[in-house]
């Protein structure tokens, strides 16, 4: 472990706790003595709710950074073993759950390491293939039995986002074309709502939660937002990752009608508008992706 590995990245939230490699090493040693000798290294990530540490060559430790992420631990521990076998690509496989200890107040997870890299919006290799792979994943997730499933973090109607979306536009001020983004947001709100039964959705399909192996999709990670609701939320990947040239490929492969596509665009716009002022200074990768989405949707609208 280098000196840099022990340094913590900037704090993203007022209520997050301090996490570093030595603390995780102690937590692992206490809870899983069989892994006590494995090296621990913090991983760079654009994720905002959890911190990730590589444990040896084959394991990953994932810990909530703040109180709002604690419920995700139980959700993933319960549902990933059920969802994984029904999905066409790898998803995180829990191999242990840690307990509060060493001053750290919450449960945490150990997963098997998944090889791959995050694609970069604007520099996607084999975009047509990735669009089709993502559509296959989304459709497979939607087909999973929703019985007893939790409501997705973003499973409700788009209109529930109206107040925070408009507040974010006001906070951004001259940094965005407020009139244009507000008009597009209102257009999304006019789309008919989801009329069918709630279905499974990942809820946060974004470059940081997608892994590729050269071109093809190899894994989808971070199911903390997953649950049932309006499937349109998983269309956000059409704008936060896929280039405009293959959006129609993705739309056709996933089977989105006009109303669902409009809601998906609204979700992508709302998520990015809310994230941008909050992470403007503290999370450059997420802020840049938010700007990418907003610019892309404005360009698409002409």
Close Cβ partners of 80 (under 8 Å, ≥ 6 residues apart): 91, 92, 93, 94, 223
pLDDT in tens, 118-155: 999 989 999 999 999 999 999 999 999 999 999 999 99
6 pLDDT band, cuts 50/70/90, is: very low
Task: Report the 3 state secondary structure along 28-93.
Answer: HHHHCHHHCCCCEEECCCCCCCEEEEEECCCEEEEEECCHHHHHHHHHHHHHHHHHHHHCCCECCC
Q: What is the pLDDT of residue 3?
A: 29
Burial per residue of 174-185, b for 16 or more beta-carbon CB atoms within 10 angstroms, e otherwise? eebeeeebbebb
Mean pLDDT of 31-41: 98
Residue 219 phi, psi (nearest 5):
-160, 155
Q: What is the pLDDT of residue 8?
A: 61
pLDDT in tens, 202-258: 999 999 999 998 779 999 999 999 999 999 999 999 999 999 999 999 999 999 999
The sheet with strand 40-42 has its strands ordered as 40-42, 50-55, 59-64, 108-112, 94-98
For residue 102, how far is the Cα from the chain centroid? Answer: 29
Mean confidence (pLDDT) of the chain: 93
pTM: 0.93
283 pLDDT band, cuts 50/70/90, is: confident
**Domains of the chain listed by start with CATH number:** 13-112 (3.30.200.20), 127-301 (3.90.1200.10)
Q: Which residues pair with 64 in a beta bridge?
A: 50
Mean pLDDT of 67-83: 95
């Amino acid at each position: 472990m280098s000196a840099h590995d022990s340094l913590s990245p900037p704090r993203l939230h007022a209520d997050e706790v301090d996490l570093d490699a030595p603390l995780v090493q102690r937590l692992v040693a206490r809870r899983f003595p069989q892994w006590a000798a494995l090296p621990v290294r913090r991983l760079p990530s654009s994720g905002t709710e959890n911190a990730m540490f590589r444990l040896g060559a084959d394991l990953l430790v994932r810990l909530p950074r703040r109180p709002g992420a604690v419920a995700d631990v139980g959700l993933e521990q319960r549902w990933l073993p059920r969802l994984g076998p029904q999905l066409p690509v790898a998803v995180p496989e829990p191999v242990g759950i840690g307990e509060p200890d060493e001053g750290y107040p919450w449960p945490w997870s150990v997963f098997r390491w998944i090889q791959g890299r995050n694609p970069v919006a604007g520099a996607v290799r084999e975009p047509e293939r990735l669009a089709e792979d993502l559509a296959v994943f989304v459709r497979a997730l939607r087909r999973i039995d929703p019985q007893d499933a939790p409501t997705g973090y973003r499973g409700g109607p788009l209109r529930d986002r109206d107040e925070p979306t408009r507040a974010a536009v006001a906070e951004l001020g001259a940094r965005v074309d407020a009139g244009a983004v507000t008009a597009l947001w209102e257009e999304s709100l006019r789309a008919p709502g989801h009329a069918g039964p709630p279905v499974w959705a990942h809820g946060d399909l974004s470059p940081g939660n997608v892994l590729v192996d050269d071109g093809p999709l190899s894994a989808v990670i971070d199911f903390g937002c997953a649950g049932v609701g309006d499937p349109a939320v998983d269309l956000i990947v059409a704008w936060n990752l896929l280039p405009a040239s293959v959006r129609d490929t993705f739309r056709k492969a996933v089977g989105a009608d006009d109303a669902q596509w409009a809601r998906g665009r609204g979700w992508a716009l709302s998520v990015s508008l809310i994230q941008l002022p909050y992470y403007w200074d503290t999370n450059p990768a997420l802020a840049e992706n938010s700007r990418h989405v907003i610019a892309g949707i404005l360009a698409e609208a002409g």
